[in-house]
Amino acid sequence: MSDAVQTQSTPNAGFTPRVFSGIQPSGGLTLGNYLGAIKRFVEKQAEPIEQVYCVVDMHAITVWQDPEALRRQTRELTAGYLAAGIDPTRSILFNQSQVKEHAELGWIFNCVARMGWMQRMTQWKDKAGKNTQNASLGLLAYPSLMAADILVYHATEVPVGEDQKQHVELTRDIATKFNHDYGVDFFPIPEPRIEGAATRVMSLRDGSKKMSKSDPSDASRINMTDDADTIAKKIRKAKTDPEALPSEAKGLEDRPEARNLVNIYAGLAEMSVDQVLAEAGGKQFSEFKPMLSELAVAKLSPISNEMSRLMQDPAEIDRILGQGADRAREIAAPILTKTKEIVGMVG
């Protein structure tokens, strides 16, 4: 194949590979965020690709946040990224509101995206509930800001948990429509990266709901800041069924709670589900749950200890975010300038 043909058939050829992902500081970090997102960012960091990780505070205020809590959770989430292994000299780590290019491109995308696209989003339907008239306009427009987060860096890869797949697909639609409407090939079409054994960690109380930092029940989730006793207690009380574990993944098909605990084990141990079941198949939960607690405490407590240490020096956390924002702006500013030129804005 000639070079020219190869270039055309490779998606995003001509764009520098770049990774972007974000997490909302709307509560504490959960085990779902760790396995679905942060742990995978840390693994990704070993690859020689530029990576941008963001604390998306502008997304968080789409639902009411107490200002003091938002400040604290922004620093705590940053401490979580650092404690888990994000190296701010290698990756770019910052909070969204310090880089105004996100908001500016978000507005342009509000004029590219269609109302119907937004109203179809599962997260909008879940979060707005029945009373859509009373939800913030920001909550509806949120995926368009998320598209701006990604595309203002011309990011080509977006590692996320399963629940964000629809938003990354919408980002692809926005990039495609922008390129088409203006007759350019300016934005890449980013790829969602949803990988690993725990791309959808479920609530410990209800195997049909995802584990979430905003669930009213604290027993439904493991927080990264939970101590060993709390983790053990939550796992001991986690909903299960009376059967023993099967010896193959197929046996978990109609057992959402059992499957969730096995997936969590696999994610933490970096094993496949089949490998876990080869060891744990035939065991009762009375035996498997203590194994899982021990593993969770061993993996999570070094991170939570390091988070507490980092939280003692908020000025240092703010300094890291400030430096990350400066680096982020260097990439985002020229892309926004060019976008405005394409749109016809006089600069």
- Identify which of 98, 27, 28 has the alpha carbon closest to the alpha carbon of residue 65: 27
User: Would residue 154 be called left, alpha or beta, if left means φ above 0 and alpha means ψ between -120 and 50 degrees?
Assistant: left
* Centroid of chain to Cα 168: 11
Q: Assess contact for 35 and 222: CB atoms under 8 A.
A: no
| Residue (205 or 340) nearer to ligand AMP, CB | 205
Contact 94, 324 (CB under 8 A): yes
Determine if 38 is a binding residue for ligand TRP (CB under 6 A): no
CB under 5 to 8 A by kind: which of ligand TRP, ligand AMP, none does 232 bind? none
**Contact between 28 and ligand AMP (CB under 6 A)?**
no
DSSP string, 106-162: HHHHHTTS-HHHHHT-HHHHHHH-S-GGGS-HHHHHHHHHHHHHHHTTT--EEE--G
36 in contact with ligand AMP (CB under 6 A): yes
User: Is there binding between residue 61 and ligand TRP (CB under 6 A)?
Assistant: no
Q: Is 101 among the residues that bind ligand TRP (CB under 6 A)?
A: no
Residue 160 contacts residue 168 (beta carbons within 8 Å): yes
Separation between Cα atoms, residue 11 and residue 5, nearest integer Å: 12
Which of 44, 213, 234, 289 is labelled catalytic? 213
* Choice between 139 and 280, CB closer to ligand TRP: 139
Query: Is 177 tagged catalytic?
Result: no
Q: Verify whether residue 233 is a known catalytic residue.
A: no
The partner in contact with residue 200, picked from ligand AMP, ligand TRP, none with C-beta cut-offs of 5 to 8 angstroms by kind, is ligand AMP
**Does residue 170 interact with ligand AMP by CB under 6 A?**
no
Number of residues interacting with ligand AMP: please give it, by CB under 6 A.
16
Contacts with ligand AMP by CB under 6 A lie at: 23-24, 32-33, 36-37, 160-161, 163-164, 199-201, 210-211, 213
Binding-site members are 24-26, 32-33, 149, 161-163, 201, 210-214
Which residues are annotated as part of the binding site for ATP?
24-26, 32-33, 161-163, 201, 210-214
